A and B are shown apart, each in its own frame.
Chain A
Amino acid sequence: MKAEVVQKLRQIMGPDGVVVDETELLVYECDALAIFKHPPDAVVFARNTKQVSEVVKLANEYSIPFLPRGTGTGLSGGAMAAEGGILIEMQRMNKILSIDVENRIAVVQPGVVNLHITQAASPLGLYYAPDPSSQMACSIGGNVAENAGGPHCLKYGMTTNHILEVEAVLSDGEIIRLGNSAGEPVGMDLLGAIVGSEGTFAIVTEIVVRLLPKPQAVKTLLAAYHTVEACSQTVSDVIAAGIMPAALEFMDDKAIEAVEASVYKAGYPRDARAALLIEVDGFLEGMEETANAIVEICKKNQAYEIRVARDDQERAQLWLGRKGAFGAMGRISPDMVVMDAVIPRTQLPGVLTEIYRLADHYGLGVANVFHAGDGNLHPLILFDSRRQDQVDKILDLGGDIMKVCVDAGGALSGEHGIGIEKKEFMGLVFNETDLDVMMQVKSVFNPRGLLNPSKVFPTRRSCTEIGKGTTTNTEIIGKRVEAVLLRGPGDH
């Protein structure tokens, strides 16, 4: 990066607000999707909206790519500087500015950790509903960019349903406020378009979120099955019975084996082929009946063991295994890749059978831990990075699994985003016109393509879009394989 630009960045950010040292930049070469790496040319640590705006204006002046980064927990490469440039770190903007109990809203900065909002609101009887599994670490700004989900979005919706208003810096540096405390779009719903635009439309610098009253009662139960089919059927039957669980999580035998062998040991039945973790929440009244109805549905589907948590401690114990499942994979496999796809929930049995068949075909292990209630699959491909023959097959297996999900009427991503990871697969679900229109909308928000380039769209499109292609497909795959070798079990 030109010394002149670095000097101007230091003028905006102050001496401790800019990193350009090559070794230090390596920290920022990827997000939680470590199989794609590319370092930025500079990292700036924003403290306020004005700084973000000025950096963006500077980047425009010199035609340098730029992108925001929260806490880097994203799993699709959204915060990876695919074309270098300036990475705008938002972690120092981490204040909860206000919590308004009567109006049930909180005003927060983008670097605030998701869980911290609930922790701050909790003594006031409120909480923030979307709870991605990384909620202890992920930032709310990143949640907005990715339209993050989580186990409880089955009942409560995704991030987009809980963001009422934002202040954002547009791709030319202009500061804008969109939305309002009632979440009522006025004119076009530009805010709705920005949420989930994977950091390619604008950089969000202040967020007003909706808070909900904490549920008065929660019931959590675990049901174990001898077959995947019976387990899947339970999911459909619970939904068909008119029950809206707060969470409905599926774990297969491999996942249970890993959990039980790890520090996340939750006492799950080890001989189960599959298990469901079901949670209902709401008012105290009627809760017992709803829980009983679920138990009956589990029994009808031959659940051979049903465990209802009697208190908070037992409930925490049941969740421990599910939340730790990704980390626990290290007990049964040296390496893994987390996938994210979504299918119509009635297709679960067929799709799972096909995923197991494909895994056998490629000679790789696959464990399944996922949000069954909304059909959001997370197949975990298990492999040994020391075995080149296994590494070579990962991309093929992943691609085949993706095709199975799309053929079943599904989509590429339920909550992780497309980013860099799945952009080449976009053609599986969208045709040329669909992608043209999306590109057209992007061009309104990001006409020069400098904000977070090389994301979301297939490479050929990204190249025409910006007139150059620094990251070709071959390079990406080369980097993937190289990076896979460096990757261990990640957090989810």
Chain B
Amino acid sequence: MTIDGIDAGRVVFPESMEQLSDCISLEKGSIVPVGAGTQLEFGNPLKSADCAISLTRLNRITTYNPAELTIHVEAGVTLQQIQSALSANNQTLPLDPWSGGAATIGGIAATSAQGPLRATGTIRDWIIGMTVVHVDGRRSKTGGRVVKNVTGYDLAKLYTGSLGSLAVIAEISFKLRPRFETTATAIAKFNSLPDVEAVLGTIRTSKLQPIACEWVGPKHELWIRFGEHPQAVESQIRQLPAASWEVVKAEKEREAWEDLRRTHAAMGPTVLRVVAKPSEIRAIVEEYRPSAWIAHAMNGIVLMSVEQPDVIDAARRKYPAIIDRAPAEFRRHKGTFGVRGAAKRLMLEMKQTFDPERRLNPGRHIDGE
């Protein structure tokens, strides 16, 4: 196993929580938790890997309670596995990371991986509890197994997106939702940035509530997805501002979004995630002139391909910007998060508190920039 050009000294495949704890407590060198490996180009470059721990054999759904709308899984379960189990009861965990259903749920949590479905939040909004293994092998939990809970600090928020640099995510409990009764996607092509902007402005100040709204460039396409009662979906599509909308449903809709996933994959080796307001998207595209972009138009997040590193510095002078993916060489020169000041100090102290010897995924998170 090679990550960022570093060969893992050994790879272990624990099959139980006890084995996972044992592997970690016995290891005195650096520890690199790995899932399906779909997000290896995200994060700062790894510094060392004495022992890679594959979570892929911790792949059990431990409890699924349809009547509770909750599921409890080990970290190595894939998103696809979860969705298959849920679909029998018309339920869903509304996540659609660009990396697809083969990603492990622990990996999606550790990287906070996300996709077009943003109206229902990201993985952080669906986690109700977590068990993690600390660098000394101790296990601890946060949250619980109930859908509403303020007992103790919400540490799952810290572990989510921390790239396994604080502790290794071992088990996660989720709340679920009923599957959207039906979904449909309206796609239209426009001629220019101002045209798209005008349509979006109308949608954003309307009663419409798309579950995904993607602005795909440079071809000036808008992808608007609704998920509701069939009549509510139809009515929302009718209320869209005038344009030549093509409406896709069912299998056609699924294929269309698969296409967009491929478009995302083809955006080039380096993609920057610029975080702004929805109304600022046009200005961002005009200023940085990316060769390709996909913007979450209801959230103000722009994924744009980057050719020159100095674009990142320029963007960061105005907006928070995360390197979504880049070759290791590129990431060696530019920090993934670009966090500064008191926030960075707190993050480094958090890392120091959880992992004073810096052995957990060294260099990959805030400690690497």
Contacts and interface: CB of A to CB of B under 8 A. Distances in A.
B163 to A, nearest CB: 10
A173 B112 CA distance: 31
Contacts of A239: 67, 69
Contacts of A178: 343
Using C-beta atoms within 8 Å of the partner chain, give the interface range for chain B: 35 or more
A241 to B, nearest CB: 8
Using C-beta atoms within 8 Å of the partner chain, give the interface range for chain A: 35 or more
Contacts of A409: 144-146
Interface stretch (B24-32, B47-55, B177-185, B213-221): B177-185
Contacts of A183: 299
Contacts of A342: 146, 148-149
A426 to B, nearest CB: 7
A445 interface: yes
Interface in A286-301: 286-287, 289-290
A413 B125 contact: no
Contacts of B67: 236, 239-240, 345-346
A411 B150 CA distance: 8
B301 A182 contact: yes
A157 interface: yes
B155 A414 contact: no
A437 to B, nearest CB: 5
Contact of A182 (B91, B145, B151, B300): B300
A181 interface: yes
B269 interface: no
B207 A192 contact: no
Contacts of B91: 242
Interface stretch (B98-106, B133-141, B244-252, B254-262): B133-141
B232 interface: yes
Given A188-B366, A285-B229, A376 B139 contact: no
Contacts of B208: 213
Interface stretch (A23-31, A145-153, A271-279, A317-325): A145-153
A282 B229 contact: yes
B343 A415 contact: no
B157 A182 contact: no
Nearest to B340: A187
A103 B300 contact: yes
A304 B160 CA distance: 47
Contacts of B354: 440
Contact of A440 (B236, B341, B353): B353
A181 to B, nearest CB: 5
Interface stretch (B75-83, B187-195, B273-281, B304-312): B273-281
B346 A444 contact: yes
A343 B147 CA distance: 9
B320 interface: yes
Contacts of B273: 184
A147 B223 CA distance: 34
A430 B342 contact: no
Interface in A409-437: 409-418, 422, 426, 429-431, 433-437
Contacts of A160: 154, 157
Contacts of B60: none
B228 A437 contact: no
A225 to B, nearest CB: 18
A103 B139 CA distance: 41
Contacts of A290: 229
Contact of A345 (B68, B152, B279, B344): B68
B337 interface: yes
Given A184-B301, A213-B209, A290-B229, A429 B151 contact: yes
A448 interface: no
B178 A243 contact: yes
B161 A185 contact: yes
A452 to B, nearest CB: 13
Interface in B88-135: 89-91, 112, 121, 124-125, 134
Contacts of B179: 242
B334 interface: no
A282 B236 CA distance: 12
A195 B154 contact: yes
Nearest to B366: A187
Nearest to B354: A440
Contacts of A283: 228-229, 231-232, 235-236
Contacts of B90: 242
Contact of B149 (A242, A413, A422, A426): A413
Contacts of B275: 180, 182, 184, 186
Contacts of B12: none
B11 interface: no
B2 interface: no
A438 interface: yes
Contacts of A184: 273, 275, 299, 301, 320, 322
A240 B271 CA distance: 41
B59 interface: no
A170 interface: yes
Given A283-B235, A413-B151, A444-B349, A375 B146 contact: yes
Nearest to A447: B349
B148 A190 contact: no
A125 interface: yes
A100 B2 CA distance: 47
A50 B9 CA distance: 52
Nearest to B138: A433
Contacts of B147: 154, 345, 374-375
Contact of B157 (A189, A286, A445): A189
Given A102-B278, A289-B229, A444-B349, A456 B152 contact: yes
B235 A285 contact: yes
Nearest to B337: A187
A158 B120 CA distance: 13
A101 interface: yes
A30 to B, nearest CB: 20
A177 B140 CA distance: 29
B347 A188 contact: yes
Contacts of A415: 148, 150
Given A161-B121, A244-B178, A414-B148, A187 B344 contact: yes
7 contacts: A103-B204, A161-B121, A178-B343, A192-B154, A196-B150, A374-B147, A418-B150
List of 8 A-B pairs having minimum Cβ-Cβ separation, nearest first: A192-B157, A286-B229, A285-B231, A283-B232, A242-B178, A187-B339, A187-B337, A374-B148
Given A239-B67, A242-B91, A441-B153, 15 more contacts: A102-B279, A147-B150, A147-B154, A184-B273, A184-B320, A187-B339, A187-B347, A286-B229, A290-B229, A344-B70, A346-B68, A374-B148, A435-B152, A436-B140, A438-B155
Interface of B: 65-70, 89-91, 112, 121, 124-125, 134, 138-142, 144-155, 157-158, 160-162, 177-179, 181, 201, 204-209, 228-232, 234-236, 273, 275-279, 296, 299-301, 320, 322, 337-339, 341-344, 346-347, 349-350, 353-354, 365-366
